[in-house]
Structure 1
Amino acid sequence: MIVQIAGNVKYPITLDPTVWIFDDRKLTYDEVFNEAEAKAAAEEEDEIKRKSLRFNREIYQQKINPPVNKSINRYEKQRILKGTFLMPLKPFIHTSEPDSKAETVSLVTDEGEHKIQADLLAGALLLFAEEGKPLKEHGPVHLYFEDGSNQDEPIKGIKKIVFQ
């Protein structure tokens, strides 16, 4: 369940997608590919925050110590348990410091290698969780391009990213 970034890089690194669920950089599938649904979800979250603030004001006016606001934590927990998440690949590529001469990247999967241009990889996203669970089948990650051109057919089962 790990992905290695290797090849023509200054610092080869190993990624563990199972811990990305706690990373603030993660994006939901809807945020990336379904902007209308993402806006609706953001508005719903804002409404929950507004209701929470209103509730807290009413409690303070009654001079009662308010309980810890668990509704937001519960919402975040539900989001994590049911969400489909992607992680931008750019920060990890930046950390590995690929050589400027590296023009192609080989994505090693169980079914062979896929070669793509290194420039395309900078804007790529890795799907690492579906419905709150790590990808076991065809995992540990699937690669999607930022423009959504391979949204219907992502590159699945990536085990290693090799800069050439």
Structure 2
Amino acid sequence: MSTIVPITGRVQFQIVLDPSSWIFDHRKIELNDYLTETITIQDVLGHNRDERAGAAMPRMIETGVKYEKDKWLTDSFVIPIAPFLSNAEPLEDASLVHLLSEDGEEITTLPITVFKEGVFCFSKNGKILKEEGPLQFYNLDDYHDEPIGGISKIVLA
């Protein structure tokens, strides 16, 4: 199974996601913190914008949130989808997102507005998702108890 997930279709730039590198990304959130809304996506992305502008200390330093190496090996993590979708630059007429499995079968179709508000789970109990991965989709409104798993390709339409 490949851990590389392409975003294709009605986008300006076709990009690939490598979930195996996200453990080092400062935008990651512990799954439990996301599900209990201890840390929101808006907090993470808003602070990330301030960091890029030089107006804020990095989130981990300022809030004291530190992900020690032992947590990387034992906890579950998610990462916001919005920055990746923004980098692909969906075309104006893109309104749907098709989530496909490794064999190319469609798992589900979501409105792009629902998709961009969600997160990808890429690590469960310190391990990369294999059987239910490489990505799982969570959204606090609809897909928090039963995430959509087995995502290997994302196609905007």
Q: Smaller-chain TM-score range?
A: 0.7 to 0.9
1:152 CA displacement: 2.0
CA distance in 2, matches of 1:35, 1:159: 27
Which structure has greater helix proportion?
Answer: 1
What is the TM-score with the length of structure 2 in the denominator?
Answer: 0.76
Letter in 2 for 1:92: F
Aligned position for 1:84? 76
Which structure has greater strand proportion?
Answer: 2
Q: 1:20-63: CA deviations, max 9, x gaps?
A: 00000000011111246x7xxxxxxxxxxxxxxxxxxxxxxxxx
The answer to whether residue 104 in structure 2 is matched with residue 104 in structure 1 is no
Aligned position for 2:110? 116
CA distance in 2, matches of 1:159, 1:78: 28
1:8 CA displacement: 0.5
Q: Which one of 8, 14, 17 corresponds to residue 15 of structure 1?
A: 17
CA distance in 1, matches of 2:76, 2:82: 19
Q: Which runs of 5+ in 2 are unaligned?
A: 40-63
The runs of 4+ residues in structure 1 deviating greater than 3 Å are none
Q: Give percent identity, aligned residues only.
A: 38
Q: 1:47-104: CA deviations, max 9, x gaps?
A: xxxxxxxxxxxxxxxxxxxxxxxxx9x9711111111000100000000000011011
Q: 1:100 to 1:138 in 2, by over 3 A?
A: same
What is the TM-score with the length of structure 1 in the denominator?
Answer: 0.73
1:109 CA displacement: 1.5
Aligned length: 128
Alignment of 1:1-164 (within 5 A): 1-35=3-37, 76-110=68-102, 112-113=105-106, 114-147=108-141, 149-164=142-157
The structure having more radius of gyration, on CA atoms, is 1
Report the RMSD for the aligned CA atoms in angstroms: 2.0
CA distance in 2, matches of 1:75, 1:127: 16
1:127 CA displacement: 0.4
